Structure 1
Amino acid sequence: MTSLEVPVRIDPATLGAVLSRYRVSRVRLLPIGFGALVVAGIVCALTIPMMRSGYSYRYTMAINIGIWCTVFAALAAILMFVYLALRGLKETFEARSAGLVHTAKGRIRAWPWHEVASMKPVHIQRSTWLTRLLVRDYTCTIRFSDGAVLKFSGELDGHEDLEQAIRANCPQCTIVPEK
């Protein structure tokens, strides 16, 4: 597609009835961001009195650790909130009788099943509590014949069900194996 071509928009209503709807639950990432912000505030509140005391040379190592912990925790909180602001809290995928509909940040995109060109599901080999907490234990990339790319991860409630729905409705779809 060249830069002068306008992508064809498909009305989701033409894709039939909704078979299943899957919501992305990024709300569980909010407590992680707020927790990092609280840790940054507490460590900063404990570090400042050491810095202001007349004997700060005695607390040099503790002050350095406090500053680095504060910076790291604040940076983690900021990155988490920026990620949530960019991706949005509300995102849905709908498997319909004749296609797939994706809604994110007020933008609706739809494709009929025959336009799904390939799908690459990736399951992390070593899933830990941290990968599950940060929802990094599963990702799936879907490529369409018009060049569009759609990704979803473990944040999607029922992500494996959506993968199975795509496999069932797209026999022509190429499944790219994991490496």
Structure 2
Amino acid sequence: MTDAFADLGPVLTTHRVDNARRVPNAAWSLTIAALTGALGWWALSGGSDGSRAHARLVGVVLGITLVGLVIGARQVVALVRGGSTEYFEVREHGLVHASRREISGWSWDKVTRITIVTRGIETGLSRQLGSGYRAELRFEGGGRVRFDGLTRDHAGLGRVVLARCPAAERRTGDEWQRERGGLLLALAGLCLAVTAGAVAFLATRGDDAPFDGLAVFATLGALVCFLAAVTCVGLFVRGRLLPR
């Protein structure tokens, strides 16, 4: 069979992506999201006494639901994009990536940006999800590929790319906090406005008003938006402190 990327030289190493592990990852995370989401909906629909302790419990349950949805969605998207036979080939003069949709190749001088994000300490969960190592390569002309901890010898692949592309821009994944500083402040302002509105609504109800479903929504909304505002401000400050 003719090698469509013969001009990139011989294959030095092959790094297969274990996308099969994403199937159980997506299954258990989406199952947890469905169960906790149903429990949260039941609680919000009046399945409990409407106390403030109940509101905190609902907040925790809905938080778990959101985390499960995010994990499940990311695993499903990566599985659909990559397919069951996804792999990377390191060649003498470039890189080849095969996914469910196509096989693409680039010479090393076409790599314009390398972003590698690593965790300081790996956990069992991060190893299972492949989230302890994430890399993105951007190419001249606008293309890009990603690989994570479910790629065989992912760290070795990352080191090779760094060594072969000395002119490419290096990133650690935190630069967006500086580049999107205005957006972070705008989001913080919006979240604080929503928090103030929710607090004002609760204050007008009086101490003897029942802590019903609407009050639960207002309390949870105020808490979530306040935490989001603090997070956005923290990210903005961190972005200002990052070295350029």
The aligned counterpart of 1:161 is 156
The aligned counterpart of 1:13 is 6
Q: How does 1:141-160 map to 2 (within 5 A)?
A: 141-160=136-155
Is residue 30 from structure 1 mapped to residue 23 from structure 2 by the alignment? yes
**Structure in which a larger fraction of residues adopt helix:** 2
Size of the alignment, in residue pairs?
152
Q: How does 1:50-65 map to 2 (within 5 A)?
A: none
Q: Distance in 1 between matches of 2:9 and 2:145?
A: 21
SS in 1 for 2:147: strand
Q: Distance in 2 between matches of 1:121 and 1:39?
A: 30
Q: Distance in 1 between matches of 2:171 and 2:134?
A: 13
Q: Distance in 2 between matches of 1:117 and 1:136?
A: 23
**In structure 2, do the counterparts of structure 1 residues 80 and 170 end up closer, same or farther at CA, with 3 Å as the change threshold?**
closer
Larger RCO (alpha carbons 8 Å, 6+ apart):
1
TM-score by length of structure 1 reads 0.66
**Structure in which a larger fraction of residues adopt strand:** 1
Q: Distance in 2 between matches of 1:29 and 1:170?
A: 30
The aligned counterpart of 1:110 is 105
Q: How does 1:124-143 map to 2 (within 5 A)?
A: 124-143=119-138
Q: Is the 8 A contact 2:17 2:87 kept in 1?
A: yes
Paired amino acid for 1:138: Y
Instruction: Report how far residue 88 of structure 1 moved.
Output: 1.8
Q: Distance in 2 between matches of 1:168 and 1:80?
A: 29
Q: Distance in 1 between matches of 2:111 and 2:173?
A: 18
**In structure 2, do the counterparts of structure 1 residues 36 and 120 end up closer, same or farther at CA, with 3 Å as the change threshold?**
closer
Q: Distance in 2 between matches of 1:117 and 1:78?
A: 31
Q: Is the 8 A contact 1:29 1:80 kept in 2?
A: no
Q: Distance in 1 between matches of 2:30 and 2:158?
A: 35
Instruction: Report how far residue 82 of structure 1 moved.
Output: 3.9
Structure 2 residues without counterparts, runs of 5 or longer? 36-46, 49-60, 175-244
The aligned counterpart of 1:91 is 86
1:77-129 CA distances to partner (integer Å, 9 max, x unpaired)?
Answer: 97478433344222111110111111101401111111111211111235322
